[in-house]
Amino acid sequence: MRQVGFLVDVSRCLGCRACEVACKNYFGLGETQRYRRVSEVEWQTEDGIGLFYLSLACNHCESPECFRVCPNRTYRKRRDGIVVHDAGLCDGCCTCVKACPYGAPQYDADTGKVDKCDLCVSRLDAGLRPICEEACNNGALKVIYLDRIDETGLLKSVPTLPDIKMTRPSVRFNPPVFRKQWSS
């Protein structure tokens, strides 16, 4: 199976949020919606507190909880592993929002429905990169095919990410470079 996913090079992410803003603008998302989220992560290291930025969206999991729990069957998994949502079938019950450990499905109060990142399938199908990857000037985001990459040195999880055993997210990470924080 040709599983599409993301490679997030945590060592390159500067926290500029260009990916987040580009996604929000491209999809015309409401004020509270963000399909891609950049967060600052502090983590205790051997040398003190480390800091890195993490850019995440829907992880298009191998075993997506959103797909499993939705009573209206609004989710489907394409042959390439991309999990898409049909908002037309959604009644806004938010069962998927509560079930996703990564916070990917987003409720839109204006429409009364849920939606999420679809990895820009229309762009991918047209041979284009997802809008978040295109907007990242530092090369921290890249679409990958998990069956075609050498995973040597890549991580399946990073600090603060929920347990991946149940959902098996289709995202890999280049390890973070911890930037030491200095106290005053």
Divide the 184 residues of the chain into consecutive groups of 10 and give the mean pLDDT of each group.
89 95 94 92 77 93 96 96 96 97 93 95 96 97 91 87 92 76 46
Name the token pair of 95: 């069962």
Residue type at position 160: T
What pLDDT was estimated at residue 42? 84
Name the token pair of 177: 């470079």
What pLDDT was estimated at residue 183? 46
Phi-psi region of 91 (alpha: psi -120 to 50; beta: other; left: phi over 0): alpha
Q: Which residues are bridge partners to 99 per DSSP?
A: none
Q: Where are the beta strands (DSSP E) in 36-116?
A: 37-45, 48-56, 75-77, 83-85, 106-108, 113-115
Residue type at position 17: R
Cβ–Cβ < 8 Å for 5, 60: yes
What pLDDT was estimated at residue 184? 40
Over the Cα atoms of the chain, what is R_g? Answer: 16
Sketch out the chain's domains with CATH numbers. Answer: 4-174 (3.30.70.20)
What pLDDT was estimated at residue 177? 65
What pLDDT was estimated at residue 151? 85
What pLDDT was estimated at residue 48? 74
